[in-house]
Amino acid sequence: MGRAGVSTLGFATLGLLAGESLSGYDVKLRMAEPVGFFWQAGHSQIYPELAKLEAGGMVVHNDVPQSGKPDKKIYEITAEGLSAVKEWVSEPAKSAPTRDEATLKAYLSWLGEPGEMAAMFRELGRRHEKQMERYLETEAWMRSEWGEPKRFERRRFANYAALKRGVGFEREYAQWCRWVSEKLESSG
Partner DNA sequence: TTTCTTTATGTATATCTTGACATATAAAAC
Partner DNA sequence: GTTTTATATGTCAAGATATACATAAAGAAA
Task: By CB under 7 A, tell whether 45 contacts DNA.
Answer: yes
User: Which residue of 63, 89, 133, 147 would you call a contact of a second copy, by CB under 8 A?
Assistant: 89
Residues 6+ apart with CB under 8 A from 11: 2, 84, 85, 88, 89
Residue 76: beta bridge partners?
A: 60
Task: By CB under 8 A, tell whether 166 contacts a second copy.
Answer: yes
Judged by beta carbon distances under 5 to 8 A according to partner kind, the member of DNA, a second copy, none in contact with residue 183 is: a second copy
Task: By CB under 7 A, tell whether 30 contacts DNA.
Answer: no
- Asked if residues 159 and 142 have their Cβ atoms less than 8 Å apart, the reply is yes
Task: By CB under 7 A, tell whether 115 contacts DNA.
Answer: no
Task: By CB under 8 A, tell whether 168 contacts a second copy.
Answer: yes
Task: By CB under 7 A, tell whether 29 contacts DNA.
Answer: yes
What does the DSSP assignment read for 156-181?
HHHHHHHHHHHHHHHHHHHHHHHHHH
* Burial of 138 per CB tally in 10 Å (0-12, 13-18, 19+): middle
Task: By CB under 7 A, tell whether 21 contacts DNA.
Answer: no
Task: By CB under 8 A, tell whether 37 contacts a second copy.
Answer: yes
Please report the beta strands in the chain, taking only residues with DSSP state E, as ranges in sequence order: 22-23, 59-64, 72-77
Q: Are strands 72-77 and 59-64 parallel, antiparallel or unpaired?
A: antiparallel
User: Which residue of 110, 144, 145, 148 would you call a contact of a second copy, by CB under 8 A?
Assistant: 110
Site residues, a second copy (CB under 8 A): 8, 11-12, 15, 18, 34-35, 37-40, 85-86, 89-114, 116-117, 119-120, 123-124, 128, 154-155, 157-159, 161-162, 164-166, 168-169, 171-173, 175-176, 179-180, 183, 187
